[in-house]
């Protein structure tokens, strides 16, 4: 290796890569993961207690020119001091030599967009094709990006938002109006109201207790549950999980430890299909319009690997764009 590793900061990364750019690479990475290829360990710890956490995720897949190690953090104190709550870096290494090729200090952007991409893939394969009403529980970055990504996949026309912080819900509503003026976006006064009449529901919070009850679910509904990504968090009640006709996860191994499913007794979890298996045609995402389906996503290192590869390519040769890709700063003002 000649010279030192390349460095790219948040602004360059935000303006160069968005969730549509990583959609198909994330799909390929999830398929490889579910085939048992490569390695993708993860660690989570919370040095700031419930007001902050750190995720360390790494990944290697055969045939890829690089492997990655990501450290992504989320701290409320950072937001209180005027910054974004999310921060972090993806280190990209040469898969043949182990040399450090690049540091992507992305302010959590690559984690954000690869999660949005996974949500879009879940909606594509599990929601009813005629879905028009989207309910959203949460008001942060994933509430924003999941809404945009799902509306790209499905004929969504109405969006109903609920979040605990009114000012943040207002910011989210304004950001969605700016990006997608064709969507009818309204704030509602409860999580139950966000669920009422929804064809697709997104839960994207850091809640430590369930927010959605089984009695609120209706036949044909699909849920993307993306917020509960460590052992302390849960968004869906155990009743929701038991009522679902079909549950798909990004990782059977990791969702048994982290998030909503980990709170179910082991003999109640069954063996859910993985999203990579659904994308590979090895398992169905939905078999009829009456099924209640859930996709539980906690996020995998192979997604970071895919996003990091795409980012390096686009940073080396920035594409011409008519607008900047959607990003967290549009909703966190």
Which of 164, 119, 121, 167 has the alpha carbon at shortest distance from 142? 119
What residue numbers bound the domain in which 168 lies? 128-296
Residues 139 and 105 both lie in one domain: no
Residues 263 and 228 both lie in one domain: yes
Please indicate, yes or no, if residue 117 is contained in any of the structural domains: no
Please indicate, yes or no, if residue 231 is contained in any of the structural domains: yes
Read off the pLDDT of residues 286-333 as tens digits, 9 standing for 90 and up.
Answer: 999 999 999 999 999 999 999 999 999 999 998 889 899 999 999 987
Residues 38 and 53 both lie in one domain: yes
Please indicate, yes or no, if residue 257 is contained in any of the structural domains: yes
Backbone torsion region of residue 108, taken as left when φ is above 0, otherwise alpha when ψ lies between -120 and 50, otherwise beta = left
Read off the pLDDT of residues 64-91 as tens digits, 9 standing for 90 and up.
Answer: 999 999 999 888 788 788 788 778 999 9
Residues 56 and 71 both lie in one domain: yes
How far lies 30's CA from each of 94, 191, 269, in Å?
21, 30, 21
Residues 283 and 137 both lie in one domain: yes
Domain total of the chain? 2
How far lies 205's CA from each of 31, 69, 103, 208, 225, in Å?
27, 25, 28, 9, 9
Read off the pLDDT of residues 177-215 as tens digits, 9 standing for 90 and up.
Answer: 999 999 999 999 999 999 999 999 999 998 999 999 999
Residues 158 and 90 both lie in one domain: no
Helix (H), strand (E) at residue 101 = strand 100-104
CATH number for the domain harbouring residue 95 = 3.30.1780.10
Output the 3-class SS for 162-210.
ECCCHHHHHHHHHHHHHHCCCCEEEECCCHHHHHCCCCEEEECCCCCCC
Residues 39 and 97 both lie in one domain: yes
What is the pTM (predicted TM-score) of this model?
Answer: 0.95
Which of 78, 31, 13 has the alpha carbon at shortest distance from 279? 31
């Amino acid at each position: 290796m000649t010279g030192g590793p390349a460095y790219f900061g948040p602004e360059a990364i935000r303006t160069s890569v968005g969730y549509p750019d990583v959609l198909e690479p994330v799909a390929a990475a999830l398929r490889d993961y579910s085939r048992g290829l490569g390695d993708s360990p993860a660690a989570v710890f919370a040095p700031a207690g419930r007001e902050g956490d750190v995720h360390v995720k790494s990944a290697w897949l055969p045939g890829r020119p690089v492997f990655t190690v990501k450290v992504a953090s989320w701290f409320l104190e950072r937001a209180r001091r005027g910054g974004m709550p999310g921060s972090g870096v993806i280190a990209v290494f040469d898969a043949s030599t182990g040399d450090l090729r690049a540091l992507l200090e992305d302010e959590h952007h690559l984690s954000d967009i690869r999660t949005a991409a996974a949500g879009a893939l879940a909606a594509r394969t599990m929601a009813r094709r005629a879905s028009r009403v989207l309910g959203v529980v949460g008001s942060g970055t994933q509430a924003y990006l999941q809404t945009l990504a799902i509306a790209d996949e499905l004929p969504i026309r109405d969006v109903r938002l609920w979040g605990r912080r009114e000012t943040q819900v207002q910011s989210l509503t304004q950001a969605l109006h700016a990006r997608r003026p064709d969507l009818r976006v309204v704030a509602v006064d409860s999580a139950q109201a966000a669920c009422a009449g929804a064809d697709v529901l997104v839960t994207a919070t850091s809640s430590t207790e369930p927010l959605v009850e089984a009695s609120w679910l209706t036949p044909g509904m699909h849920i993307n549950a993306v917020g509960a990504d460590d052992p302390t968090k849960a968004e869906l009640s155990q009743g929701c999980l038991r009522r679902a006709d079909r549950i798909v996860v990004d990782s059977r191994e990791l969702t048994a430890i982290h998030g909503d499913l980990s709170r179910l007794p082991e003999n109640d979890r069954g063996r859910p299909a993985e999203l990579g298996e659904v994308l590979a045609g090895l398992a169905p995402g939905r078999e009829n319009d009456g099924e209640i389906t859930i996709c539980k996503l906690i996020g995998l290192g192979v997604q970071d690997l895919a996003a990091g590869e795409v980012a390096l390519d686009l940073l080396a040769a920035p594409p011409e764009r008519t607008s900047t890709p959607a990003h967290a700063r549009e909703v966190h003002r």
